[in-house]
Amino acid sequence: MWDAELDVVIAGAGGCGLVAALRAGMEGLEVGIFEKTEFILGNTAASAGMIPAAGTKLQKELGIEDSVQLMAEDILRKNKYESEPELTEAICRASGPLIDWLNDELKISMSVVTEFKYPGHSVKRMHAPPTRSGLELVKNLKKAVDQIDNIYLMKKSEVLQLITDDDRAVIGVEVDTPDGRQKIKAKKVILATNGFGANKDLVKRYIPEISNAQYFGYEANTGDAIRMTEELGAALSNMSAYQGHSAVSDGQGLLVTWGTIMMGGFMVNEQGNRFGNEAEGYSEFAVQVLNQPRQAGYIIFDEKIYQALLSIEDFKNLADMDAFKKEETIEMLADALKISGTLLTEELRDFNQSNGKKDRFGRENTAAQLEAPFYGIKVSPALFHTQGGVLINSSAQVLNKAGEVIPNLYAGGGAAVGVSGKHAYGYMSGNGLLAATGLGMIAGDHARESITAERVGANE
């Protein structure tokens, strides 16, 4: 019946799948990663590579006081206490050891982002590779996988179906490989296929408010985990949750870092008017941008912000492409952006005058006032990835509709329910990559430890 046998099968080779494989294979277990595309990318590669984590060695070296409890409380406060507290705390608990492991064991360089705090975080806890690029993180994870003989990575190999026994325990998978369909026996299966952002029908069904926005995630994220677990009676949770992004550069298709906002910039529409509190977060603000004329916004900032952000790879690439308009006066910048100079001038004056106190949108800006020369860029909103998915427990085990564990099955990253609550407002910066890498670690560890315990029990 079986074409091959492995200890652990992982569907998907993004950040979640690669981390899960590295953790599951630490003690010699045979691990197979099946990636349905020909590339090792995933949404992690499209991200800024920033993972929030509490209590890391890097934070302690900088004198940053943080804790699992504080991080979990920040996440829960942001999502209005709509995520499962036990799962939220479990992911936060894994975050510190995750970063230390990446740095110390895998030698993947990570550092604390100290330039500013992202929306919702009470302390500086975002950790990122030197280029602030998720692609760099994925490349380094793949490099680590390639160095381990007992981990096998197969591209162009889509996991089509979960195979179960008479007790509905998962015992393997069916995979569509370049050599034909194969049935792979496995002791544990981890779903790391991300969410359903590339599936327009599912997006319209579950998240209609963002369905007209462009999708800025990986094309392979079509809801495979939902499809495969449906037959097993798996429960779904918080399917209306998602991460939006308010700032995809017009013409270049690159993310404009929200540091432009958090360091003291603001956004207007084509009429030159601000239209909300940008600092609430780039996820929930995306719908507001979507509702503007021509579904466009314009980020306004200055020289000091520009110089501070050049260390971020996407930002520097945009600068090299001359994507930013730079002018000595705000009126000239308005002309360059083809928006109302009179209204933009008024917005700049009001924004600077509100410095240190709340403005009409409730934003409290404590950054330095904006000064000439000024910069601007046209942006549009996007759906980055979905945050709802298969219901799991704090060990990343998939649960059925009765709340019972489906034996031998795990899910992580966008395939599983995340920690962003029920809507875009619940997304806190880094939640997606935290769920990907954090749950990858949790699932990989639990699968490895379970198999080891089962072997010990069988030998007694």
Single residue among 358, 383, 408 that ends a domain in this structure: 383
* pLDDT surpasses 80 at 82: yes
Look at residue 34 in the predicted model and tell me its pLDDT: 99
Single residue among 383, 400, 416 that ends a domain in this structure: 383
| CATH code: domain of residue 309 | 3.90.700.10
Q: Which of 283, 304, 272 is nearest to 427 (CA)?
A: 283
Mean pLDDT of the chain: 96
Helix crossing, 85-104 with 431-459: angle to 10°?
A: 90
Mean pLDDT of 60-72: 98
Look at residue 21 in the predicted model and tell me its pLDDT: 99
Look at residue 460 in the predicted model and tell me its pLDDT: 64
Instruction: For the chain, give the percent of residues with pLDDT over 70.
Output: 100
Look at residue 35 in the predicted model and tell me its pLDDT: 98
Structural domains of the chain, count: 2
- 186-209 confidence digits (pLDDT tens): 999 999 999 999 999 999 999 999
Q: Identify whether residues 366 and 304 lie together within a single domain.
A: yes
Single residue among 383, 401, 420 that ends a domain in this structure: 383
Q: Identify whether residues 62 and 190 lie together within a single domain.
A: yes
Q: Identify whether residues 11 and 114 lie together within a single domain.
A: yes
Please give the residue range of the domain that contains residue 305. Answer: 243-383
- Give this prediction's pTM: 0.93
Q: Identify whether residues 228 and 260 lie together within a single domain.
A: no
Q: Identify whether residues 62 and 138 lie together within a single domain.
A: yes
> pLDDT-derived band of residue 184, with 50, 70 and 90 as boundaries?
very high
Mean pLDDT of 293-308: 98
- 372-406 confidence digits (pLDDT tens): 999 999 999 999 999 999 999 999 999 999 999 99
Q: Identify whether residues 38 and 152 lie together within a single domain.
A: yes
Q: Identify whether residues 180 and 126 lie together within a single domain.
A: yes
| CATH code: domain of residue 136 | 3.50.50.60
Q: Identify whether residues 179 and 310 lie together within a single domain.
A: no
Look at residue 367 in the predicted model and tell me its pLDDT: 82
* Residue 387 CB partners (closer than 8 Å, separation 6+): 195, 238, 241, 242, 243, 414, 417, 418, 420, 426, 427, 431, 432, 435
Mean pLDDT of 309-324: 95
> pLDDT-derived band of residue 117, with 50, 70 and 90 as boundaries?
confident
- 133-173 confidence digits (pLDDT tens): 999 999 999 999 999 999 999 999 999 999 999 999 999 99
Q: Identify whether residues 175 and 287 lie together within a single domain.
A: no
Q: Identify whether residues 403 and 344 lie together within a single domain.
A: no
Q: Identify whether residues 329 and 451 lie together within a single domain.
A: no
Look at residue 118 in the predicted model and tell me its pLDDT: 87
Kind of pairing between the strands at 31-34 and 151-154: parallel
Q: Identify whether residues 396 and 329 lie together within a single domain.
A: no
Token pair for residue 349? 């004056």
Q: Which residues are bridge partners to 377 per DSSP? A: 299
Mean pLDDT of 270-297: 96
